[in-house]
Structure 1
């Protein structure tokens, strides 16, 4: 037998043996993490990295709102305590996630619908879009909120949702449920009780224990923190300021609209825990971003994933070289690692985004990074 023939036979035997090894590994629910010589039909590095990934995407409010109305006609609070539309990223479907760690959901309540209290380990917010009578009761503080107001429903805090005032109202929710689900830490509790005459009694409505303006009266003045209240409401797992009013945010943006801002972001204001100055939740945080008329941001890329909803204005974003147009109340998914720039093409009206980011989780784990490019196209390390 020639040397060439012996070599071919050895190669065939090795391929057959490798195939048998792979088959046995997969049959026993194992994965081979190595790369072999060319000619083998396995590339374990690519296979390991080929997990489902979120993609840039825009959900249009013009599609969402009619579906909310149809759902309100067909699904009552007697049918279900929840009636929300969760935005599912096409790259992650069927997983309930708008980006890998968060999801956005839109909720419409008919006049004076109130659901019973519940609590859960995922942290969530509600952001008002339409109507003045959005309602959330959280840990004994009854909050009625309108467009631009943000209400926290923290990890393990009892809360319920609905509307008051006799009109429909729409809000959007953002939760870290996909992250908590990945960590196998999701729990829900629907049995709400209070003590009455020394006995535990199941209740359908929380008894108010705080005034309805408590969050603003205690925490609404930046830089001043009362000592005479307990700041560990709801277990102390989040900001104790449960509602952030739009009028405060709008006044701050208006006062600084002529500042230079950040060329990669425009003007950004983070929502903060008034007791720490840090994010409102330990896993995700929220912010408002304003692009002045005609403003275009320079490209930037960060490891954090973002969800952006244009609260005012319309425009487009360039994400990894592709254009995505958006309008008021849409939701834009910007997965971590994408290059993005935003454009406000209006010569007279600002764009205001309501945004969510999983940067707090990444910063806790020392994984967060951010890059940008200058006008010349040079790469910059920003964080």
Structure 2
């Protein structure tokens, strides 16, 4: 018997003991051994927790719980009342995809929460009710269905409803990304002149954002455009009607078979996304249209706003109905189909594209009608 054959069992025993010691000391070995499947470290790294494509139905999953939470949890119990969508592939982590989460909120009539701020950036998107309320850094914003409201990082803001009927909105935050960077902070002790207050005093006129930034291509030089932390869009509300009108004006444009009509909300002073970590779009899939598949490294959160249809993610099909949320992790082939022959399918889309782009990690591919893969970005 050879010396190697005699030594092999002893080596294997010592190897297993070493792996056990490494794990016990909170370390991870990184020297992938092709002959040892149990300790193929590259495979283990690639198979860590990942988000999966997943759809939450507004009608059956979300709306009943929103109504129940509004009845059972009052402003006397908490400063906020939101339902966070947790991706089953990432649970129990509070994340809808790896870097962002979507949350839904129902505010009862004349219900306004006290101010707070946090290092996560956020948006509010109106679903129902005409008098959703958000006060942001002294600008009181009343918004309705389809309106997008920014609450940039480190800006004092409070949410609520100033109308006489319930109002529902959804939020998207980069909370999971900021949490991963160990930079998440919250503050609730809002004061003016040293006195604690439950509502910010308005320092800007109603519709300030529209007054200053509402004319595309024209920028007033007589106002200070640095608001909040200074690195986010100073335009805090983007109304739906101009967006919808722009989509319909270009509904015959047919030069992008991969995305239909896609319009980005942009920073009115410097262009580009409203945040350094997230960007937002409205996307129209026209009646009878089916987009060609796209795969990208960016994660998407998609909420149908008008119309109905289907999304195809790799080998799965998902129905799309108003106010649902669909989680689309990066590296999934995705296409949309509008099953109506008369009504457009309009989608509200959140993406972590800016974060990936800043690290040089943003890539995008498409398939042609013949199935060939082409590079898009």
Alignment partner of 1:305 is 2:309: no
Shift of 1:324: 1.2
Structure 1: which 5+ runs fail to align? Answer: none
Quick check: 21-30 or 329-338, which moved more?
Answer: 21-30
Q: SS at the partner of 2:38?
A: coil
Contact in 1 for aligned 2:31/2:41 (Cα 8 Å): yes
Contact in 2 for aligned 1:122/1:177 (Cα 8 Å): yes
Paired with 2:32 and 2:162, the residues of 1 have a C-alpha distance of 62
Structure 2: which 5+ runs fail to align? Answer: none
Contact in 2 for aligned 1:55/1:335 (Cα 8 Å): yes
- Match 1:10 to one of 7, 13, 18: 7
After TM superposition, list the pairs within 5 Å mapping 1:13-52 onto structure 2. Answer: 13-39=10-36, 41-52=38-49
Paired with 2:184 and 2:36, the residues of 1 have a C-alpha distance of 45
After TM superposition, list the pairs within 5 Å mapping 1:274-289 onto structure 2. Answer: 274-289=268-283
Deviations 1:301-349 (A, max 9, x none): 0000000000011111111111111211100000011111111111111
How many positions carry a matched residue from both structures?
376
Alignment partner of 1:219 is 2:213: yes
Paired with 1:285 and 1:279, the residues of 2 have a C-alpha distance of 5
Q: SS at the partner of 1:224?
A: coil
Paired with 1:364 and 1:73, the residues of 2 have a C-alpha distance of 43
Q: SS at the partner of 1:216?
A: helix
Contact in 1 for aligned 2:152/2:229 (Cα 8 Å): no
Alignment partner of 1:258 is 2:258: no
Q: 1:57 to 1:30 in 2, by over 3 A?
A: same
Alignment partner of 1:334 is 2:328: yes
Paired with 1:40 and 1:183, the residues of 2 have a C-alpha distance of 32
Alignment partner of 1:75 is 2:73: yes
- 1:324 is aligned to 318
Deviations 1:266-319 (A, max 9, x none): 000000000111100010010000000001010110000000000011111111
Contact in 2 for aligned 1:155/1:237 (Cα 8 Å): no
- Match 2:170 to one of 159, 169, 172: 172
Paired with 2:32 and 2:277, the residues of 1 have a C-alpha distance of 36
Shift of 1:242: 0.1
Contact in 2 for aligned 1:261/1:267 (Cα 8 Å): no
Deviations 1:90-109 (A, max 9, x none): 00000000000000000000
Shift of 1:39: 4.7
Q: SS at the partner of 2:39?
A: coil
- 2:159 is aligned to 161
- 1:113 is aligned to 111
- 1:143 is aligned to 141
Q: SS at the partner of 1:233?
A: coil
Alignment partner of 1:100 is 2:98: yes
After TM superposition, list the pairs within 5 Å mapping 1:261-272 onto structure 2. Answer: 261-272=255-266
Paired with 1:268 and 1:98, the residues of 2 have a C-alpha distance of 22
- 1:293 is aligned to 287
Paired with 1:189 and 1:147, the residues of 2 have a C-alpha distance of 29
Quick check: 34-43 or 355-364, which moved more?
Answer: 34-43
Paired with 1:40 and 1:374, the residues of 2 have a C-alpha distance of 38
What's the TM-score, normalizing by structure 1? 0.97
Paired with 1:300 and 1:87, the residues of 2 have a C-alpha distance of 24
Shift of 1:261: 4.0
Paired with 2:372 and 2:337, the residues of 1 have a C-alpha distance of 20
Shift of 1:9: 2.2
Paired with 1:112 and 1:80, the residues of 2 have a C-alpha distance of 16
Shift of 1:7: 3.6
Q: 1:40 to 1:312 in 2, by over 3 A?
A: closer
Paired with 1:222 and 1:351, the residues of 2 have a C-alpha distance of 26
The alignment's C-alpha RMSD in Å is 1.0
Paired with 1:167 and 1:349, the residues of 2 have a C-alpha distance of 28
Paired with 1:20 and 1:363, the residues of 2 have a C-alpha distance of 43
